[in-house]
Structure 1
Amino acid sequence: MTDLTDKVAIVTGASRGIGRAIALLLAMQGAKIVCVARSADELTEVALKTAGLAVPADVSDEADAQHVINEALRQFGRVDILVCNAGVGSFNLLEHFSAAEWDQMFAVNVKGTFLLCKAILPHLKAQHGGHIIGIASDVARRTFQHGAAYGASKYAQDAVLSTLRKEVRSFGVKVSTIYPGLVDTYFNDSKPGSPDAEKTHLKPADIAQAVRYVLEAPAHVVVDELMIHPLTQEW
């Protein structure tokens, strides 16, 4: 495993599921973790396990996003890794979606990624290095029934990250995107651990290992995209 000692990593959506698994794994590798989520109680528990900093925040709020970066810099003096993992989703026929549901998915999945990247970029550019990793979805590359709003938000998030990759490469900043398939988490009000999910879903730890893989790439190598499929668990 890569030694991340003295590296500072911000992980959003860190209170449970994929974000929690990422925070715990990066902490095991020596990183100092800034845990971000809306749920303060669960976030505190993860921060204690990682010996990190808990920053309750709504990533879709510009002031909150800037607060996350400010707190990380105040506490640790630098940021090396930003994992944009916070996400929400609901699924229905297009005609049954409300405007509020549509807006919420775009606010968290797209605007949240945009705001955090925008807030951290001056710091990463100034230090001539850093790594932004977006946790998107395999539905950023395909469509399916009942997935118009969630899929559209993930297509948009993917566009933000792939464009940013081109804009910051000359500053020594990497941008990578991971596209998980189905993951056994609390996402969309699911309860992890069902027998069916055991057979068909990835585990949060699988996605954390994908983040580790991306971070282990040599300095001169950029892993632009990493697709992880259920069942085979092949990258």
Structure 2
Amino acid sequence: MKKTVLITGTSTGFGAATAYNFAEKGWNVIATMRDITMGKELSRLNNVLVTRLDVQDRKSIDAAITLAIEHFGKIDVLINNAGYGQFGIFESISREAILNQFEVNVFGVMDVIKAILPHFRSHKGGTIVNISSGAGAIGFPMASVYSASKFALEGLSEGLRYELASVGIKVKLIEPGGAMKTGFGTRMGSEIAALKPAEEYIPFLTRIGKLYGGMEGNSDPDAVEKVVAAIYDAALDNTHQLRYTPTNDIAPILKARRSTSEQAYQSFTDSLFLGE
């Protein structure tokens, strides 16, 4: 029997590319998104079911999982890809914007996992692949809220790994780089205009804007292909490996974070972000 994967956030980016990759490899694919009009091309594939799933709408989560099981009989892999990044000086970000970041990147993931676990347990197996970020291991300036949400996702995934292994379910984390590809450098002007940070932050914003602009230019050019390949490998990996870091752009900072002393890491990041 063909295996079946349910993927959230497949309208664009990693989600769309991942849906096409699994479909091309012969899987049944449930490609979910908030606006299904964005999935017209995917829906033309015979082994792809496009359906609505908004991670902030629990009824849509339940409906998508029920429809997927009715259509394909079973779900083998869940890929939690839906998410976005809230950027800006923390002091200037509204409480509502912070709550929304966590609603999508953390609580939405929790709700999708909770909804599918009874199905996985009934089949004594399944794999959950959560799309994190290098920012889930490193706190980036101008991305403190985004990093906080991804740190939470990492903690959730690591804790769940032990619980769910006891019932035959695997948990995987993908940590792409590419945080700098989100346009940090060009966001500085809009950050100042829209969020109106205190004037004292302006010199720091200017410096960080230049730094991130340079980092963006050095982002891994094959990031999408590498991330999609890592997601597929994680879905098939029968080992207990938790974290997969597919792109080269984040590797030096992750190595400093995980392979050196706290003092050495702080010295490295201070020189990077504070110019000290």
- Asked if 1:99 is matched to 2:119, the reply is no
Which residue does the alignment assign to 2:138? 142
- Which is further off, 22-31 or 208-217? 208-217
Instruction: Note closer, same or farther for the CA distance 1:230–1:39 as it changes in structure 2 (3 Å cut).
Output: farther
SS at 1:142's partner residue? Answer: coil
Distance in 2 of aligned mates of 1:198 and 1:148: 22
Distance in 1 of aligned mates of 2:37 and 2:182: 16
Post-superposition CA distance 1:83-141 (Å, at most 9, x none): 00000112101111011211111011101110110000001011011110000011111
Give the number of the structure whose residues are more often helix, by fraction: 2
Pick aligned residue for 2:228 from 186, 200, 208: 208
| Amino acid in structure 1 at the alignment position of 2:164 | V
- Asked if 1:132 is matched to 2:132, the reply is no
SS at 1:165's partner residue? Answer: helix
| Amino acid in structure 2 at the alignment position of 1:48 | R
Aligned length: 225
| Amino acid in structure 1 at the alignment position of 2:246 | I
With the length of structure 2 as denominator, give the TM-score of the two structures.
Answer: 0.74
Distance in 1 of aligned mates of 2:44 and 2:154: 32
Instruction: Note closer, same or farther for the CA distance 1:184–1:55 as it changes in structure 2 (3 Å cut).
Output: farther
Pick aligned residue for 1:47 from 37, 43, 51: 43
SS at 2:245's partner residue? Answer: strand
Note the C-alpha offset of 1:47: 2.9
- Asked if 1:163 is matched to 2:159, the reply is yes
Which residue does the alignment assign to 1:36? 32
Post-superposition CA distance 1:70-95 (Å, at most 9, x none): 11111111100000000011210111
Structure 2 counterparts to residues 1-235 of structure 1, below 5 A: 6-49=2-45, 51-182=47-178, 199-201=218-220, 202-217=222-237, 219=238, 221-231=239-249
Give the greater-gyration-radius structure (CA): 2
Distance in 1 of aligned mates of 2:129 and 2:97: 25
How large is the RMSD of aligned CA atoms in angstroms?
A: 2.7
SS at 1:53's partner residue? Answer: strand
Note the C-alpha offset of 1:46: 2.1
Post-superposition CA distance 1:133-188 (Å, at most 9, x none): 00001111111111111011101111221111111102111110111110697799
Note the C-alpha offset of 1:199: 4.3
Distance in 2 of aligned mates of 1:41 and 1:187: 26
Of the two structures, which has the highest relative contact order with CA contacts closer than 8 Å and spacing of 6 or more?
Answer: 1
| Amino acid in structure 2 at the alignment position of 1:68 | A
Structure 1 alignment gaps of length 5 or more? 191-195
| Amino acid in structure 2 at the alignment position of 1:212 | Y
2:176, 2:250 within 8 Å by CA — same for their partners in 1?
no
Instruction: Note closer, same or farther for the CA distance 1:158–1:223 as it changes in structure 2 (3 Å cut).
Output: same
Percent pairwise identity: 28
2:120, 2:126 within 8 Å by CA — same for their partners in 1?
yes
With the length of structure 1 as denominator, give the TM-score of the two structures.
Answer: 0.86
Structure 2 alignment gaps of length 5 or more? 187-214, 255-276
| Amino acid in structure 2 at the alignment position of 1:203 | A
Distance in 2 of aligned mates of 1:232 and 1:182: 7
